[in-house]
Structure 1
Amino acid sequence: MAKLSELMTCIAEASGIPESDIRQIGRRAREAGYIAQGARGTSAPDMGVADAANLLIAILASEFAKDAPIAIERYGVLRNSYVNDFSKVFGDGDGYYRKYIPVCPEIIKWVKSNHTFRDAVERLISDASKGEFNDLSDFMSVKDTEEKISNDIANYKYGNIDFNIVVYSNFHRASIVFFDQNARNFGIGHSSYGQLFADDGFAFYSAKAINKEVIATIGKLLVS
């Protein structure tokens, strides 16, 4: 288990976001009750999945540290408003698709359900803490048949999926973008939260994002 100070250091090191910024945001979020409160030092409360999710939302959605509580409140409750699911997720080792294989790992099925942005962030962190980010590239081969690949990944939740969590603070919107880790320009799908807007390219300039590796690192810390 990890204390808040350890969690903030972990996120800073994994994401490259200045730790001083994260600590200011974390303090504001804790004072507002969105992160577990209690004694300090070794007696401080252990962080759970909900604490980590609220801190990440605050980091992504706050323009200034003082905005952390309202950012958690406003963005955490956003509901998924659009899901684009390609459900064809595996390519060869060179980063080019050998053939499209209509296999859909569980996480892509789950994002189609009715849920909030906080639910999604919590789900990803929880799965990471359980070791469910599985890399199948080591045993997948371009010579494998569709049947073999389908059987191999039948019980996997993520397969070769990578993802980014993105918040567009100027537009009160968030998204989770899924893609093939071996061919990053091949999108698998994405789930959007909040109001849609026409010009994603323009909105990108106001976006903050973290990737799967940050979530994986947090997950490992929470169970260490």
Structure 2
Amino acid sequence: MTKYILALTLIISAFLTVGCQEKLQSGKRTTHPTQAVEPIPTVPVKIPEPTVPTKPVQPISETKPTVNTEQEKMLSFIKKEGILKVKMGEKVCLLADDAIDYETFVSPNSTMIALETLLMSNLQTVRIYKKDAEGCFKPLQNKLSTKLWHDLSEQEGFNLEDVSHPRMKFLKWIDNEQVQIELSGEIENKAIDTNVSADLKLLI
């Protein structure tokens, strides 16, 4: 009887073992391995930049120096080693030969020349020259500097001998016979700086 029960137990356990193996195999058949999902390739999209309307570039016009008059175009100056000459066509005339440096200003009708003259480092004056019958420029009979400083000293009440470092600077031609000049200097450490006008007809 015992042998019979033991044999029956072995048969049942064998049957159960076979059933479990079939289940495991069937489970393996139904299980599908997971495949790696490849990423969807992305295409970069370029967003167009906003366009700003541009104005057409205007061509730069060429500028040329202008000359006031035909007469002034005919005048040229030669400055060398403290000597200043004026050239008019083929004619050359001496203007000055006693200064360190010069600067010339021709009147609108080219009949006069205002000459800013640096006599010393701290002494500068303005001389006026007028064209004569021969076509050269000669200094006026009366000096512009003498008249302007004399008139200013009478107005301001000082002596000309007390002025140190006197300077005259040419500013402009008002017309063909009037000029504007800047007068500057010092009196007892007090500065002088004023603009005055002069009628050149009074100096002829």
Relative to the length of structure 2, the TM-score reads: 0.29
Larger Rg: 2
For CA contacts below 8 A with separation 6 or more, give which structure has more relative contact order.
1
**Larger helix share, 1 or 2:** 1
Taking structure 1 as the reference length, the TM-score comes to 0.27
